[in-house]
Amino acid sequence: MSATLTDRLSAVVGRAFEAQGLDAALGTVRPSDRPDLCQFQCNGALAAAKQAKRNPREVGAAVAKALKGEAVFATVELAGPGFLNLTLTDEALSEAAQAAPAGWTAPTPQKIVVDYGGANVAKPLHVGHLRSALIGEAIKRTLRAVGHEAVGDIHLGDWGLQMGQLIVQMAEERPDLPYFDEGFEGPYPEESPVTVDDLAALYPRASAACKAKKDELDTAVREAAASRLAKAQGATAALQAGRPGYRALWQHFIDVSLPALEADYGRLGAQFELWRGEASVNDRIAPLVARLEGQGLLEESDGAKVVRVARADDKKEMPPLLMIKSNGSVGYGSTDLATIDERAEEGFERCLYVVDKRQGEHFEQVFRAADAAGIMAEDRLEFCGFGTMNGKDGKPFKTRAGGVLRLSDLFEMVLGKARDRLSEGGVGADYPEEERQAIAEAVGMAALKFADLSNPRTTDYVFDLDRFVAFEGKTGPYLLYAAVRIDSVLQKAAYEGGADGFRIGHEAERDLALALAAYPDALRASHDRRMPHVLCDHAYAVAQAFSRFYAACRIGDEADRDVRTSRLALAKATSEQLHTVLDLLGIALPPRM
Ligand code: ARG
């Protein structure tokens, strides 16, 4: 287990509190709120005074005195009612900055599955799936960076009502096909009767046929929709029960959908180790239901089988988890519970779900059921909900026509904007067209990803493409540009290492070293809170500190050789750290800009 800089400082200050007969935990050190006054601060004297009924300034003074002998601190000042303002020696700071690439290691590495992506086969990917893919990928990479064995599972939505809807729609439109004839003895055609584009067009028809408009007055129309829905539900149940024609057609749907999904996710940089889906656990459900029954956890409710998960101290009503619907089909809850059963059996010690926060109740039900059935303890099941990407009207982002925005259309929009921005800025004007394309792709994707990830996971945010692709401010393009610029400085100077630590002589060097030294703390916080935005904030702070350093200090053309070598080493460390953090965020860099 490695310690971050604030951990190490907290240990030092904690000892000084202990020497006063006080609790070491009071020595917690954090980055200063007033960087103009000091680098770090500790407010423990105030809490200590309350506990020990002593004067906080007196406690603070005693601790400060004890810290005077500590080599890491250049200054320890008592301020206000008892704050300790701490600043490191340049040697200590330089050492911490040099140690930063080691990051931070989790005390107990675990085998963890991250459930993210969650695309639904045959339904278009929408911006909610975009968020899941980006946040999930960053969380998974962060887990790995701190020592966990993390595996990503896309958990495709491939077993729900949309499958029955598609089957019934196909039966209506293509009754000539053999899949619907129960007497057919096979074999079924090897070739799919639909392409992925057919499927994309089929689904809206299939779904529309099951729905009457809310204000539909014509009872015949309403009844037709209701009867179609019942048919689709029946087909879903039959598919799940193994009706051969339906299974064969379903397999075609899956087979034509997967390459398109792989392409979309590939473009997003999401890499799933497991391409499983809800359907893959179908055979586990019957034995699981029998087990739940044996445990006395299963109840009948209007012909359905449910697990009651409500608790006495619930603040709001918690409906039971639906295991088997009255028509015999399984639902979202049953496949999720069976999936946990599979994951537990495969030795996963923890499951993380990166899903829209509006699904919180569903996961609460599933987790409680898993716990009650002894499948996996609740404290190993984690829901990492995320907020919505909204339009300027504050509602979930839609196309101008009011539909859900398809990911592929979003990509085109972003790419177009990135291209405009690049040509406005004259970036790559003399590069070959192919390279300009690649840069636009990198800038567009960085803009989209950084804009998404830089918001705290749980908050909603407004989609504002113009702001996302700006080269100024806290944006993906700004960070790419910063990283690429540093690399070109290093390249021009033909830096080949050889620095013996960072020699901090200038304020801007000190600030940059301080920013770099914060990486292990940022990594840890991002890991512990499952909040990739912490890493975004960190990368931005590093890039800004580098900008100030670049403006204030000569680097490659500095005359003093030792200073030059140290500055190049600082630039090199900055470049490496930005590359590391951007990689954790799943953001790829173009070789030049
Ligand atoms: N397919 C679901 C949706 O589009 C997301 C799946 C999330 N993961 C899970 N294990 N339920 O809403």
Looking up residue 569, the CATH number of its domain turns out to be 1.10.730.10
The Cα–Cα gap between 467 and 112 comes to: 36
**Same domain (yes/no): 35, 135:** no
**Same domain (yes/no): 444, 562:** yes
Residue nearest to atom 3 of ligand 1 (CA): 118
355: Cβ below 6 Å to ligand 1? yes
Higher pLDDT residue, 543 or 186? 543
Q: For residue 321, what pLDDT is reported?
A: 98
157: Cβ below 6 Å to ligand 1? yes
Pick the closest to residue 232 from 160, 169, 165 (CA basis).
165
Task: Find the 111 Cα to ligand 1 centroid distance in Å.
Answer: 21
pLDDT at 401 over 80: no
**Same domain (yes/no): 218, 125:** no
On whether residue 589 sits in a domain, the answer given is no
The contacts of residue 517 (CB under 8 Å, 6+ apart) are 5, 93, 96, 97, 99, 100
Q: For residue 499, what pLDDT is reported?
A: 81
On whether residue 93 sits in a domain, the answer given is no
pLDDT at 405 over 90: no
Cβ contact 155:278 at 8 Å: yes
User: Hunting for tokens 């050789």 — which residue is that?
Assistant: 561
Q: How confident is the model at residue 93 (pLDDT cuts 50, 70, 90)?
A: very high
Mutation test of ligand 1: which of 355, 363, 366, 406 has the most ligand atoms closer than 8 Å to its C-beta?
355
User: Hunting for tokens 């540093």 — which residue is that?
Assistant: 486
Which domain-ending residue is among 268, 286, 309?
268
Pick the closest to residue 104 from 24, 196, 1, 201 (CA basis).
1
Give the strands of the sheet with 381-383, arranged side by side: 149-153, 111-115, 350-353, 381-383
On whether residue 591 sits in a domain, the answer given is no
List the structure tokens of 532.
């990739």
On whether residue 398 sits in a domain, the answer given is no
Quick: pLDDT tens for 96-135: 999 999 999 999 999 999 999 999 998 878 888 999 999 9
Mutation test of ligand 1: which of 130, 155, 362 has the most ligand atoms closer than 8 Å to its C-beta?
155
**Same domain (yes/no): 198, 151:** no
Residue nearest to atom 5 of ligand 1 (CA): 118
155: Cβ below 6 Å to ligand 1? yes
118: Cβ below 6 Å to ligand 1? yes
**Same domain (yes/no): 488, 560:** yes
CATH number of the structural domain spanning residue 362: 3.40.50.620
152: Cβ below 6 Å to ligand 1? no
CATH number of the structural domain spanning residue 24: 3.30.1360.70
Q: How confident is the model at residue 408 (pLDDT cuts 50, 70, 90)?
A: confident
To the nearest whole number, what is the mean pLDDT of the chain? 94
Pick the closest to residue 375 from 287, 273, 314 (CA basis).
287
On whether residue 104 sits in a domain, the answer given is no
- ipTM for the predicted complex comes to 0.99
Q: For residue 238, what pLDDT is reported?
A: 98
Task: Find the 158 Cα to ligand 1 centroid distance in Å.
Answer: 10
**Same domain (yes/no): 84, 124:** no
Range of the domain at 126: 111-157+271-390
% of the chain residues with pLDDT over 90: 86
**Same domain (yes/no): 429, 376:** no
On whether residue 103 sits in a domain, the answer given is no
Task: Find the 83 Cα to ligand 1 centroid distance in Å.
Answer: 48
Which domain-ending residue is among 362, 390, 418?
390
**Same domain (yes/no): 214, 253:** yes
Quick: pLDDT tens for 289-301: 999 999 999 999 9
The mean pLDDT of 464-490, rounded to a whole number, is 93
On whether residue 555 sits in a domain, the answer given is yes
Cis peptide bond prior to 187, omega within 30° of 0: yes
Report how many domains make up the chain.
Answer: 4
160 CA closest ligand 1 atom index = 1
Sort 408 into a burial class: Cβ within 10 Å, 0-12 / 13-18 / 19+.
middle
**Same domain (yes/no): 492, 548:** yes
Q: How confident is the model at residue 244 (pLDDT cuts 50, 70, 90)?
A: very high
Q: How confident is the model at residue 444 (pLDDT cuts 50, 70, 90)?
A: very high
Q: For residue 501, what pLDDT is reported?
A: 87
336: Cβ below 6 Å to ligand 1? yes
DSSP category for residue 357: G
Task: Find the 355 Cα to ligand 1 centroid distance in Å.
Answer: 7
Q: How confident is the model at residue 428 (pLDDT cuts 50, 70, 90)?
A: confident
Q: For residue 350, what pLDDT is reported?
A: 98
The mean pLDDT of 243-261, rounded to a whole number, is 96
Task: Find the 155 Cα to ligand 1 centroid distance in Å.
Answer: 7
pLDDT at 50 over 90: no
On whether residue 213 sits in a domain, the answer given is yes
32: Cβ below 6 Å to ligand 1? no
115: Cβ below 6 Å to ligand 1? yes
Q: For residue 126, what pLDDT is reported?
A: 81
List the structure tokens of 34.
């007033």
Pick the closest to residue 408 from 164, 207, 119 (CA basis).
119
The mean pLDDT of 191-212, rounded to a whole number, is 94
Task: Find the 293 Cα to ligand 1 centroid distance in Å.
Answer: 26
**Same domain (yes/no): 49, 9:** yes
Residue 477 dihedral angles phi and psi, to the nearest 5°: -60, -35
Quick: pLDDT tens for 284-329: 999 999 999 999 999 999 999 999 999 999 999 999 999 999 999 9
**Same domain (yes/no): 42, 78:** yes
The mean pLDDT of 153-177, rounded to a whole number, is 97
Q: For residue 122, what pLDDT is reported?
A: 87
Q: For residue 409, what pLDDT is reported?
A: 85
The Cα–Cα gap between 588 and 480 comes to: 9
